Amino acid sequence: MPGTAPARTVLIAGAGIAGPALAYWLRERGFEPTVAERAPALRTGGWAIDVRGAATEVAARMGLAGAVRAAAVETRSISLVAPDGRRGARLGAGALSPSGRDVELLRTDLARLLHGASADGTEYLFGTAVTGVEDLGDRVRADFDTAPPREFDLVVGADGLHSPVRSAVFGPEERHSRFLGAYLSVFTMENHLRLDREVLLYNTPGMLAALRGEDPDERAYAILAMRSGEGEPVRHRDAGAQRAALHERFAGTGWEVPAILEGLDRSGDLYFDSATQIRMDRWSRGRVVLLGDAGYCPSPLSGQGSSLALVGAYVLAGELAEAGGDHRRAFAGYEAEMRGFVRRNQKIAQAGMDFLLPATRTGLRVRSLGMRAAAGLPALARFSSKMDRASTAIALKEYPGAPRRAAG
Ligand SMILES: Cc1cc2nc3c(=O)[nH]c(=O)nc-3n(C[C@H](O)[C@H](O)[C@H](O)COP(=O)(O)OP(=O)(O)OC[C@H]3O[C@@H](n4cnc5c(N)ncnc54)[C@H](O)[C@@H]3O)c2cc1C
């Protein structure tokens, strides 16, 4: 009878954070992963991202605890700045991780570590986009832009917020996406302020310009973010339109914004996307399943995208192993384990929006007062303890396949 043979070969679309993490775990559990990535090499760029709560445990079970900690960014302070550059309210190191367990590292570094950990035993196809998938009942046929079609037992869409696999199998993005009303861009530029392990935030109502410097002699990371109504969409793969939209909104704002806009024009690593969540009733259909942002993007405003991807990868591979490769049972188990965890973490985005992009002058004053009330830090403390609770809101099962234990 077709469809009863246990799954072995798995195509993963996307070598971001979720894809390589899943490849690692599938290989550990005895499956044969192939990862197809549209970009010609691992994509770099992006701000520092968080590995929090249960995701730190997943990293440890991958044997990456030491490497992740070694790559952690050391932020000495986060300060609000006035238009003339004067530092205002300031948060010291660790303010966003009261537990001290969570790690913040550059996205590029996390992607590199996950790729390195999974490379041995995984077939990586860079410069190869998945352009279509067809469930044949007992196999799935995948089409690629630069390679002939191939068949796999299962296909996983780990291809990000704008997942082509999701569109092919579950219909157009608009059906599943919820725009939260903001756009966010990240790029590197000259560290002209010679910032040293420091983050500066400059806000006007509904807008944020930020700079992060790790080392005065290295490039700085810049953020330009803006609230925006539904009526003015910016296309996610049109860097020219994205730069134009940022120039239009940020022209004439104070502080270092003119220098940041110059940096934007020269940057070769612009990451720009909408703050959008993906909410779906189910993450699988037949032999195709979604992982990470493709299935349940919480948006960068939640700070939890990478943690959901890491935990999702661990659970999906584990459930496949526990079900002996029976994808129906495994996908049901994956959904059952992950649903509540995803829901809790998606809820955080609104608090992130209020903290990073206050909409009004009053909102800006309230945040500044909150940051100044050093001991109480009301807004921030509420935000970080919410994150703390959400990021640990899953009990990680032990799965068959005896993963290697953490070294560091
Ligand atoms: C360059 C970059 C920078 C980012 N910077 C930030 C940041 O600063 N802050 C933040 O909160 N989040 C950022 N993100 C998003 C963050 O990485 C994710 O929210 C989170 O880590 C979940 O990861 P993911 O693997 O599900 O998705 P992603 O990290 O988005 O990875 C998806 C991958 O799929 C690939 N892909 C897409 N379509 C196809 C296809 N058809 N075939 C094959 N491959 C495909 C993409 O090229 C990408 O490498 C960034 C993402 C990228 C790609």
User: Which residue's alpha carbon is at the smallest distance from atom 29 of ligand 1?
Assistant: 16
What's the CA gap between 95 and 41, in Å, rounded? 35
* pLDDT tens per residue across span 283-294: 999 999 999 999
Q: Note the pLDDT of residue 354.
A: 87
Say how many CA atoms lie within 13 Å of 222 toward its Cβ.
26
The CA 19 to ligand 1 mean position distance, Å, reads: 10
For residue 304, name the pLDDT band (cuts at 50, 70, 90): very high
Residue 107 lies in a domain: yes
Indicate the pTM of the whole model: 0.93
* Short-list 17, 62, 13, CA closest to 34: 13
**In the sheet that 207-213 helps form, which strands lie side by side, from edge to edge?**
87-92, 77-81, 198-204, 207-213, 220-227, 177-189, 271-278
- List, in order, residues 6 or more apart from 88 with CB less than 8 Å away: 79, 80, 81, 82, 368
Quick one: which atom of ligand 1 is closest to the CA of 131? 41
What is the predicted pLDDT for the residue at 188?
A: 96
Any idea which of 114-123, 297-306, 371-380 has the lowest mean pLDDT?
Answer: 371-380
Domain count, the chain: 1
Is residue 205 situated within a structural domain? no
Please give the distance, rounded to the nearest whole angstrom, from the Cα atom of residue 160 to the centre of ligand 1. 5
SS3 assignment, position 211 = strand
What domain range includes position 170?
Answer: 9-74+99-176+277-357
Alpha carbon 68 to its chain centroid, in Å, reads 16
Please check whether residue 194 is in contact with residue 216, taking contact to mean a CB–CB distance below 8 angstroms. Answer: yes
- Could you tell me the sign of the dihedral formed by the alpha carbons of 132, 41, 60, 215, in that order? negative
Residue 397 in domain: no
195 within a domain of the structure (yes/no): no
Read off the amino acid at residue 122: T
For residue 169, the domain's CATH number is: 3.50.50.60
Tens-digit pLDDT profile for residues 131-155: 999 999 999 999 999 999 999 999 9
Task: Give the binding-site residues of ligand 1, using a 6 Å CB cut-off.
Answer: 13-19, 36-39, 43, 45-47, 49, 107, 129-130, 158-160, 164, 186, 271, 292-294, 300, 305-306, 309
- Give residue 84 CA to ligand 1 midpoint distance, Å: 35
CA distances from 75 to 104, 301, 333, 356, 373 (A): 9, 19, 39, 17, 20
In a domain? residue 313: yes
Q: Which of 43, 124, 125, 184 to mutate to test the pocket of ligand 1 (most atoms within 8 A of CB)?
A: 43
Which atom, in ligand 1's list, is nearest to the CA of 159? Answer: 34
User: Does residue 151 contact residue 140 with C-beta atoms inside 8 Å?
Assistant: yes
- Per the domain annotation, does 85 fall within a domain? no
How many C-alpha atoms does 43 have within 13 Å on its Cβ side?
21
Within 8 A by CB and 6+ apart from 224, the residues are 184, 185, 207, 208, 209, 246, 250, 260, 261, 264
Residue nearest to atom 11 of ligand 1 (CA): 300
How far, in Å, is the centroid of ligand 1 from the Cα of 23?
Answer: 16
What single DSSP character describes residue 397?
A: P
Number of the ligand 1 atom closest to the C-alpha atom of 293: 26
90 within some domain:
no
User: pLDDT tens across 63-79, in order?
Assistant: 999 999 999 998 888 89
- Structure-token pair, residue 281: 């009733």
Cα–Cα dist 32/122, whole Å: 7
Phi, psi of 387 (to 5 degrees): -60, -40
| pLDDT beyond 90 at 81 | yes
Which atom of ligand 1 is closest in space to residue 144's alpha carbon? 42
The answer to whether 143 touches 133, Cβ cutoff 8 Å, is yes
pLDDT at 247 over 70: yes
Q: Is residue 81 part of a domain?
A: no
Residue in 309, 305, 304 with CA at minimum distance from that of residue 292: 309
Give residue 16 CA to ligand 1 midpoint distance, Å. Answer: 5
